[in-house]
Chains A and B, each alone.
Chain A
Amino acid sequence: MSIFGEVPQAAPVAVFKLTADFREDQNPSKVNLGVGAYRTDEGQPWVLPVVRKVEKMIADDHSLNHEYLPILGLPEFRSSASKIALGEDSPAIKDNRVGAVQCLGGTGALKIGAEFLRRWYNGTDNTKTPIYVSAPTWENHNAVFSNAGFEDIRPYKYWDAGKRGLDLEGFLGDLESAPDHSIFVLHACAHNPTGTDPTQDQWKQIADVMKRKSLFAFFDSAYQGFASGNLDKDAWAVRYFVSQGFELFCAQSFSKNFGLYNERVGNLTVVAKDQDNLNRVLSQMEKIVRITWSNPPSQGARLVAITLNTPELFKLELRKLLKAKNRVIGFKSETKQVEYLVKEKHIYLMASGRINMCGLTTKNIDYVAESIHEAVTTV
């Protein structure tokens, strides 16, 4: 008898299962619109030229070693990553009240932020503090916060299916009715999965309510540079909140905008009221990191740090973002239609209807468009 004899089979993680099914599919017309990874027009994953360049530099640099990074991560990476989020001239950075923790991708940044908040946000036991995530949201948000010990995870209205846009009234309503000091997970830009973001004016209204009710802003920034092609524009919401005096967290991922999915490059930017508060927060985060993964991996962070701190390489990166036009858009569809597309037409997309525009190429766009038309009109 095994001591694990009673363990139930968990459902597979949807997005990865989709890709696995797609890989096994032998049909020559198959298309994968499901996963959130950039594709070239040939339908291939793209290793950015600047990434290749810097990888070679790192491999040939004999002064580099494989020593453990500090627990909080590579210092050059952390500071340049935070600058990307908050801007070179951020007054908060100048005031020395911005710090960061290098994490294992965006997931890792959310994890460390969540673990910290559960322990220290509002008193020393926040298991009952409400966490609000958008309806809909990235499928993993719930699991990360729940696993960090939060027991009360609630949706806030976001997507209006009827008018196929932001439900601002519902959003503001949920902000108003939330208990003070609740934590809100906000998508900095390119909302996942709908692709719809509040306008600057709408963000101002959201910030107003959050300030008044002392709601905590936990930004999830996985697509900076991909919403508009411009890093600064995509960071407007985070920067606005900082300018309004919010203390906040921003979980950044460099998976998409550097194509470094598999090196797990993330950064948790922390904005505090002053340096003293910041230092104490970072010291507690260090303790949490120590018992989770001890130190973060160096390869990806080195790559990003070198790129961000070398002007010619940084220009290459910016140009690439402009070209990429990676938007994750949603089209709300019926489950039956999604099933039809997957099973009959071998077009793989998420059950939520999320499609990755980069899965489309000049070769398959007609096939996909026709198939979607069929699904929507006949199923």
Chain B
Amino acid sequence: MQMNSEFRERQPIGVKNLSVHGHTTWLPLVRKIKQQISTDPTLITEYPHILGIPEFTRRATQLALGKDSPAIVESRVFGIQTVGCTGAVCLGAELLRSCYCSSSSWSGPILLSSPCDDSLAGTFKAAGIEDVQYYRYWDAESNGVCVENMVHDLENAPEQCVVVLFASGHRPTGAELSQEDWKRVAEVMKRQLFAFFLMSAQGLCSGSLEQDAWPVRHCVSLGLELLCAQSFSHNFGLYGERVGHLLCVLKQNLLAVQSQAEKLVQTLWSCPPMEGARVVATVLSNPAHLVDWQESVKAVAERCMLIRERLRERLRLLGGPWQWDHIIKPGGLYCCFGLNTQQVDFLVQKKHIYLLPNGCLNVSAINSRNLDYVAESIHQALIRTKVI
């Protein structure tokens, strides 16, 4: 967030902020529904359920798992509306601390990907889960995920360890596993590891809601218990409304765990905010709106893919020994360019191109007006700091 304040202060020409997650496109559908909501005299402003609007949690659950999911059919799943994805992770962390492994004060270990968002470790630690460790994910050599390393680290993880997995749209690298890779990971997870999925942009990575949720659905089909934190910030453009969802798939004792979750919600925010969840519920439960939305999501995903291809092409044309295929491999908003600190520094200080120190960026912030400038600047950064 410090990045944002610097960005606002400078305001030079040709400035771009590649570290802000969130293109400012809003969906026309969302505005239409908000207008309907604001003029609907039957909608009340009462305290909602502690666990959120029932229609919202029902639809969010179906979206993640598929309507015919065995977990839904067998009533082994419940959902909680949360304050964004962060709220879902926060609540999930609190739930694990107070319920996992017959402990009332479970403190870990939990495994996060390397790299991952800074605040993730902080959220778990604040919940009392002190033992935070990392599994290898991004491989700088190959500019992608090294699944061998990942599987090795999971196989050697302590029993009962909780593992945070990114269903799609890994932050900050955008790097993904193939379905075959996921099958290998799931096999390891079956042996006494617990999956906590993060799914922050379902639909935006591949353009398909089902494909982006495949890893979660596969694990459920294997009979695994899991948590899944979902966000509707990106795929509905509702960042400011904080619409999140925590999904819990269990084998048994559903009501007891749900009751503990209710107690925890009371100490965090009592009950979640309505507006955004109402919009999402309205869209997801109306066939016409649903189609409209799926098309918008697909369009966003396709645009991101197009930007990646164009960027790769520009960089290729600018020359140099560097390979750029890894830019187009993953989908979605995030991309890791493998730039080092010097190169990032050059981009920020000299070219007014803002991106995070880890060299990862949000491709949706690149557009037809700034593509050339960004490509040229990256090229310059690489040339200037080339190791001879």
Q: Which residues of A contact B (CB under 8 A)?
A: 1-13, 16, 35, 37, 45, 47, 51-52, 55-56, 58-60, 65-71, 104-108, 111, 115, 140, 143-144, 146-148, 255, 259-264, 286-288, 290-300
Known pairs A104-B273, A264-B270; A291 contacts B90 (CB<8 A): yes
Q: Are B119 and A59 in contact, CB atoms less than 8 angstroms apart?
A: no
Closest to A44 in B: B44
Select which of A5, A7, A56 is within 8 A of B38 by beta carbon: A56
Q: Are A297 and B240 in contact, CB atoms less than 8 angstroms apart?
A: yes
Q: Are A293 and B83 in contact, CB atoms less than 8 angstroms apart?
A: yes
Known pairs A67-B240, A108-B268, A300-B273; A2 contacts B252 (CB<8 A): yes
Select which of A2, A13, A16, A60 is within 8 A of B251 by beta carbon: A2
Interface size on B, residues (CB 8 A): 68
Closest to A143 in B: B267
Q: Are A297 and B90 in contact, CB atoms less than 8 angstroms apart?
A: no
Alpha-carbon gap, A298 to B37, bound state (A): 16
Q: Are B126 and A111 in contact, CB atoms less than 8 angstroms apart?
A: no
Select which of A47, A68, A290 is within 8 A of B22 by beta carbon: A68
Closest to A54 in B: B38
Q: Are A111 and B262 in contact, CB atoms less than 8 angstroms apart?
A: no
B266 CB within 8 Å of chain A: yes
A6 vs chain B, min Cβ distance (A): 4
B160 CB within 8 Å of chain A: yes
Q: Are B266 and A143 in contact, CB atoms less than 8 angstroms apart?
A: yes
Return chain A residues, CB-CB under 8 Å to B122: 287, 290-291
> Given A107-B269, A290-B86, list of 8 further CB < 8 A pairs?
A16-B49, A52-B38, A105-B269, A107-B266, A107-B270, A293-B90, A296-B242, A299-B273
Select which of B102, B241, B252, B274 is within 8 A of A66 by beta carbon: B241
Closest to A48 in B: B45
Within 8 A of A (CB), among B28-61: 30-31, 34-35, 37-39, 41, 43-50
Alpha-carbon gap, A255 to B260, bound state (A): 25
A14 vs chain B, min Cβ distance (A): 11
B87 CB within 8 Å of chain A: yes
Q: Which residues of B contact A (CB under 8 A)?
A: 1, 22, 24, 26, 30-31, 34-35, 37-39, 41, 43-50, 83-87, 90, 94, 99-102, 119, 122-123, 126, 160, 194, 225, 233, 237-242, 250-253, 255-257, 259-260, 262-264, 266-276
Alpha-carbon gap, A45 to B255, bound state (A): 30
Q: Are A4 and B259 in contact, CB atoms less than 8 angstroms apart?
A: no
Return chain A residues, CB-CB under 8 Å to B83: 104, 264, 293-294, 296-297
Alpha-carbon gap, A295 to B251, bound state (A): 33
B81 vs chain A, min Cβ distance (A): 11
Known pairs A4-B99, A147-B267, A293-B86; A47 contacts B238 (CB<8 A): no
Q: Are A8 and B256 in contact, CB atoms less than 8 angstroms apart?
A: yes
Return chain A residues, CB-CB under 8 Å to B160: 3
B345 vs chain A, min Cβ distance (A): 24
Centre residue among B38, B251, B256 by max chain A CB count within 10 A: B38
Return chain B residues, CB-CB under 8 Å to A287: 122
B1 vs chain A, min Cβ distance (A): 6
Return chain B residues, CB-CB under 8 Å to A146: 267
Return chain A residues, CB-CB under 8 Å to B273: 104, 262-264, 297, 299-300
Closest to A287 in B: B122
Q: Enumerate 15 A-B pairs (CB-CB under 8 Å) in ascending A order.
A: A2-B253, A4-B252, A4-B257, A7-B256, A47-B41, A58-B38, A59-B34, A59-B38, A66-B238, A259-B45, A261-B45, A262-B47, A290-B122, A293-B87, A294-B86
Known pairs A67-B24, A259-B45, A291-B90; A298 contacts B272 (CB<8 A): no
Q: Are B26 and A45 in contact, CB atoms less than 8 angstroms apart?
A: no
A261 vs chain B, min Cβ distance (A): 4
Known pairs A5-B102, A104-B273; A294 contacts B22 (CB<8 A): no
Pairs A-B, 6 closest by C-beta atoms: A294-B86, A104-B269, A298-B240, A147-B267, A107-B270, A2-B251
Return chain A residues, CB-CB under 8 Å to B30: 66
Alpha-carbon gap, A37 to B47, bound state (A): 8
Q: Are B99 and A299 in contact, CB atoms less than 8 angstroms apart?
A: no
Known pairs A3-B100, A3-B160; A263 contacts B275 (CB<8 A): yes
Q: Are A37 and B46 in contact, CB atoms less than 8 angstroms apart?
A: yes
Q: Are B1 and A70 in contact, CB atoms less than 8 angstroms apart?
A: yes
Closest to A260 in B: B45
Alpha-carbon gap, A3 to B103, bound state (A): 10
Known pairs A2-B225, A9-B255, A294-B86; A111 contacts B268 (CB<8 A): yes
Q: Are B34 and A263 in contact, CB atoms less than 8 angstroms apart?
A: no
Return chain B residues, CB-CB under 8 Å to A147: 94, 264, 267-268
Return chain B residues, CB-CB under 8 Å to A106: 270
Select which of A6, A12, A68, A296 is within 8 A of B102 by beta carbon: A6
Q: Are B126 and A291 in contact, CB atoms less than 8 angstroms apart?
A: yes
Q: Are B126 and A288 in contact, CB atoms less than 8 angstroms apart?
A: yes
Return chain B residues, CB-CB under 8 Å to A288: 126
B41 vs chain A, min Cβ distance (A): 8
Q: Are A111 and B269 in contact, CB atoms less than 8 angstroms apart?
A: yes
Known pairs A9-B255, A293-B242; A299 contacts B268 (CB<8 A): no
Closest to B121 in A: A291
Select which of B1, B34, B260, B269 is within 8 A of A71 by beta carbon: B1
